[in-house]
Amino acid sequence: MNVTKSEYSAIVKKHSPPSPKLKDFIWAYCVGGFICVIGQLLMEFYKYLELEEKTVKMLVPVTLIFIAALLTGLKLFDKIAKRAGAGTLVPITGFANAVVSPAIEFKSERFVLGVGAKMFTIAGPVIVYGTVASVVYGIIYWITTLF
């Protein structure tokens, strides 16, 4: 049975529930903001411990990565992400989830061909294109400062 693109679109539209966009935006904003608040609280806590600023700036992202990885391993991150959507994609927590999820999924294929080979399936392109974009922006910045 061949279905045209317009027929397929009509079927999808008929069977898909409407998306409450405003509610989704509010949830994403609140959850993303909450993750940032946690980061700020961690920063204040580490400063309260009288750690060097350089150490504090290292510990905050490491702690957020650990929390996101732990929540992914406990299968809680996906439940939060279903509700919060893009709010969980605050770069550091979303990246941690993108690395840990495939590692967990392919652990049955052992460490080299499973975890090692699949760990960066999602995060790999982000790293590559992020690096390329930063190089391009760096070159543009350098050229604009020459004049």
Sign, CA torsion 98/100/103/104: negative
Residue 105: the pLDDT is 73
Q: What is the pTM of this model?
A: 0.68
Amino acid 70: pLDDT: 93
Q: How far is CA 100 from CA 31, 82, 96, 117, in A?
A: 20, 17, 6, 12
**What is residue 52's predicted lDDT score, i.e. its pLDDT?**
96
- Cβ atoms of 100 and 122 within 8 Å: the answer is no
Domain locations in the chain? 21-146
Helix extents (H) in the chain? 5-15, 21-48, 53-73, 77-84, 91-105, 117-118, 123-146
- In the chain, which residues have pLDDT < 70? 1, 107-108, 111-112, 114-115
Tens digit of pLDDT for each residue in 15-54? 887 778 888 889 889 999 999 999 999 999 999 999 999 9
pLDDT for residue 104:
75
